[in-house]
Amino acid sequence: MQPILSRPALVEQVYEQLVAAIAEGRLAAGERLTQEALAERLRVSRQPVSHALALLKTEGLAVEQGRRGLVVAPLDAHYLRSLYEVRAALDGVAARLAAEAVAAGRAPTAALADLHAILADGTAAAERADRAALIAADAAFHHALNALSGNPVLIETAQRQWAHVRRAMGLVLADGATRERVWQEHAGIFEAVAAGDAPSAEARARAHAERAGREAFERLNATLSAAE
């Protein structure tokens, strides 16, 4: 994690750093989360760390574990599968609405340009095998697609689960072959949206999320089995 040097929205910055570290595996499941150690690593006082840890606990990313205190929550394979069942539905709707906006001429040109730029960033990160950049680009792609849908309820609903989705992304994007395929699928979704092809956009986005969910579930189960 990088030291935090600026003061505005300090709790949010600490929280974001911790979520990113959990998603990327730099804070592993079961690792202790102590205010003192984290404050030292981030070069902030204990107070914003305390608030950020409370947020992680509320969201289920951190749990109390007896005498060890607060630790990074273990990944739950069944929760992960349920998460992606919902995500597949939301992603499909988002892509369909985005394509419909393009077809109707309601989509800002800049929004499509941003999506295209994110695709380029993600492809480059995949070539570098930069896991942190890949997770960030993956999240940015879906955030931009959700925004392009124009549906505020969809955006709000999806946002509530993004910390957990980012953690699942870390599992999926750890595999080299998968990294390349993920961005090919993103490119297909973008092409359908940009063409205003709502049925194709929805089908591609849903299939993409369903496949990612299956792979995350299988990878987690394999990891848990190996640890037994």
Domains (ranges, CATH) in the chain? Answer: 10-72 (1.10.10.10), 77-227 (1.20.120.530)
Q: In a 3-state reduction of DSSP, which class is residue 32?
A: strand
Q: In a 3-state reduction of DSSP, which class is residue 161?
A: coil
The pLDDT of residue 227 is 64
The pLDDT of residue 172 is 82
The pLDDT of residue 40 is 95
Alpha helices in 9-76 (DSSP H): 10-23, 35-42, 46-58
The pLDDT of residue 49 is 96
What is the spatial distance between Cα 46 and Cα 163, in angstroms, rounded to a whole number?
Answer: 22
The pLDDT of residue 226 is 72
How far, in whole angstroms, is CA 71 from its chain's centroid? 20
Q: In a 3-state reduction of DSSP, which class is residue 108?
A: coil
pTM score? 0.86
The pLDDT of residue 148 is 96
pLDDT in tens, the chain (228 residues): 766 555 548 999 999 999 999 998 899 999 999 999 999 999 999 999 999 999 999 999 999 998 889 999 998 888 999 999 999 999 999 999 999 999 999 999 899 999 999 999 999 998 898 988 999 999 999 999 999 999 999 999 999 898 899 888 888 887 777 888 999 999 999 999 999 999 999 999 999 999 999 988 888 888 777 766
The pLDDT of residue 208 is 96
Query: CA distances (Å), 45 to each of 21, 38, 40, in order?
Result: 19, 9, 8
Kindly provide the residue ranges of all beta strands, DSSP E only, lying in the chain, ordered along the sequence.
Answer: 62-64, 70-72
What is the spatial distance between Cα 1 and Cα 71, in angstroms, rounded to a whole number?
Answer: 17
Q: Which DSSP string do the residues of 111-124 spell out, in sequence order?
A: HHHHHHHHHHHHHH
The C-alpha angle with vertex 5 and arms to 2 and 6, in degrees rounded to 5, equals 130
What is the spatial distance between Cα 59 and Cα 160, in angstroms, rounded to a whole number?
Answer: 9
What is the spatial distance between Cα 186 and Cα 115, in angstroms, rounded to a whole number?
Answer: 10
Q: For 74, which DSSP code? A: P
CB atoms within 10 A of CB 225: 8
